Amino acid sequence: MINNKNFQLRKILTNKNETSFLMEAHNGISAKIVEDVGFQAIWASGFAISSSLALRDCNENSWTQTLDILEYMADAVNIPILLDGDTGYGNFNNFRRLIYKLEQRGISGVCIEDKVFPKLNSFVEQKDRLAQVEEFCGKIKAGKDVQKDKNFTIVARVESLVSGLPIEEALMRSEAYFKAGADAILIHSKKETGDEILEFVKKCPVDIPLIIVPTKYYKTPTSLFKKAQIAAIIWANQSFRAAYASMKKTLQEIFHTESLQNTEPHITSMSEIFNILHYDELKVAEEKYLPKIIKES
Ligand code: SPV
Ligand code: MG
């Protein structure tokens, strides 16, 4: 039997003829909003999930705590979820165990980066150690061997450019990860333009779908990445940052005015939340399942 979400994600991440977009979510309700707005898939961002727990993006939350959040997200939506799985939370064996649990919980794919556990967010000005190529290839192979559904997707994320290494290192690693069985490569960059990404695309020695995260080089037009046949673009943290900005502004206003008058017209109504969470279904279910005598008491 085909797992439809897994199939969808694989298609989204590997079709070079159509650039797809994944939006970040970090909990059940943000996942629901991502789906509601129309995105086809979710990026379960390590940065956003840890930040929403008021923890740093350096594996301060355990992977099983992340798994619990993912379960709420997967329950809330019908679109597939790609987990930002950091380094796979350890060696090949930790990664195998992660995949076993992700498949159980309805997650459709995982992206692992070629760094050493515990990792640190790529945009922090402090260099992380890169994993050895052979070790990372073994991790990819172990993941592909253990996945039960053939459409579960494993993305290998190349951190060479972020680490300031020459493009040749990124190209060499991409080829190795392709040969190890990765379904796609996420090539990461922290430059302010997409030039090095576009150069990488031109020089990439293997025919593998490419995924990018233009957080820093957002001024480069998306049309250029489409033209370069980037398979998928990840908007990696905008849900979380938008929520943070809006929450802070609203709370400051209420604090300073000691009133809700200015903010109430601008924030989400309770009824919108009731709607998106289908409170009306509860009434219908009560009619069906709850004896009259309990309803009326
Ligand atoms: C994340 O969203 O956690 C990512 C992307 O890994 S980045 O923060 O750009 O490294
Ligand atoms: Mg991350």
- Write down the pLDDT at residue 203: 98
Average pLDDT over residues 52-60: 98
- Write down the pLDDT at residue 249: 98
Sequence-distant (6+) residues with CB within 8 A of 125 are none
Angstrom CA distances, 79 to 165, 231, 259, stand at 36, 18, 39
Q: How close is the Cα of 44 to the center of ligand 2, in Å?
A: 9
Ligand lying nearest the CA atom of residue 211: 1
Q: How close is the Cα of 142 to the center of ligand 1, in Å?
A: 24
CB of 84 shorter than 6 A to ligand 1: yes
Sequence-distant (6+) residues with CB within 8 A of 126 are 120
* Minimal-distance CA residue to ligand 1 atom 5: 236
Average pLDDT over residues 188-201: 98
Which of 60, 119, 122 has most ligand 1 atoms within 8 Å of its beta carbon, as the pocket-test mutant?
122
- Residue 134's pLDDT band, with cuts at 50, 70 and 90, is very high
CB of 237 shorter than 6 A to ligand 1: yes
- With a cut of 90, say whether residue 233 has pLDDT above it: yes
Ligand lying nearest the CA atom of residue 162: 1
Average pLDDT over residues 61-73: 98
- With a cut of 80, say whether residue 211 has pLDDT above it: yes
CB of 59 shorter than 6 A to ligand 1: no
- With a cut of 90, say whether residue 29 has pLDDT above it: yes
| Cα Rg of the chain, angstroms | 21
Average pLDDT over residues 196-225: 98
Q: Strands (DSSP E) along the chain, which ranges?
A: 20-25, 41-44, 81-84, 109-113, 153-158, 184-187, 210-212, 232-235
- Residue 77's pLDDT band, with cuts at 50, 70 and 90, is very high
- With a cut of 80, say whether residue 295 has pLDDT above it: no
Average pLDDT over residues 42-59: 98
- Indicate which atom in ligand 1 lies nearest the CA of residue 122: 10
- Write down the pLDDT at residue 95: 98
Q: How close is the Cα of 226 to the center of ligand 2, in Å?
A: 23
- Indicate which atom in ligand 1 lies nearest the CA of residue 46: 3
CB of 108 shorter than 6 A to ligand 1: no
- With a cut of 90, say whether residue 292 has pLDDT above it: no
- Residue 80's pLDDT band, with cuts at 50, 70 and 90, is very high
- Look over the chain and give the mean of its residue pLDDT values, rounded to a whole number: 97
- Residue 127's pLDDT band, with cuts at 50, 70 and 90, is confident
CB of 94 shorter than 6 A to ligand 1: no
Q: How close is the Cα of 267 to the center of ligand 2, in Å?
A: 29
- Indicate which atom in ligand 1 lies nearest the CA of residue 57: 3
Q: Which two tokens stand for residue 171?
A: 């190209």
CB of 239 shorter than 6 A to ligand 1: no
Q: Which residues are catalytic?
A: 57
- Write down the pLDDT at residue 1: 81
**pLDDT tens per residue, range 146-186:** 999 999 999 999 999 999 999 999 999 999 999 999 999 99
Buried b (16+ CB within 10 A) or exposed e, 155-194: bbbbbbbbbeeeeebbbbbbbbbbebebbbbbbbbbeeeb
- With a cut of 80, say whether residue 293 has pLDDT above it: no
- With a cut of 80, say whether residue 296 has pLDDT above it: no
- Write down the pLDDT at residue 128: 79
Q: How close is the Cα of 57 to the center of ligand 1, in Å?
A: 9
Neighbours of 7 (CB within 10 A): 17
Average pLDDT over residues 125-145: 95
- With a cut of 90, say whether residue 109 has pLDDT above it: yes
CB of 159 shorter than 6 A to ligand 1: no
Phi, psi of 25 (to 5 degrees): -140, 155
Beta bridge partners of 78: none
Greatest Cα-to-Cα distance within the chain, rounded to the nearest angstrom: 74
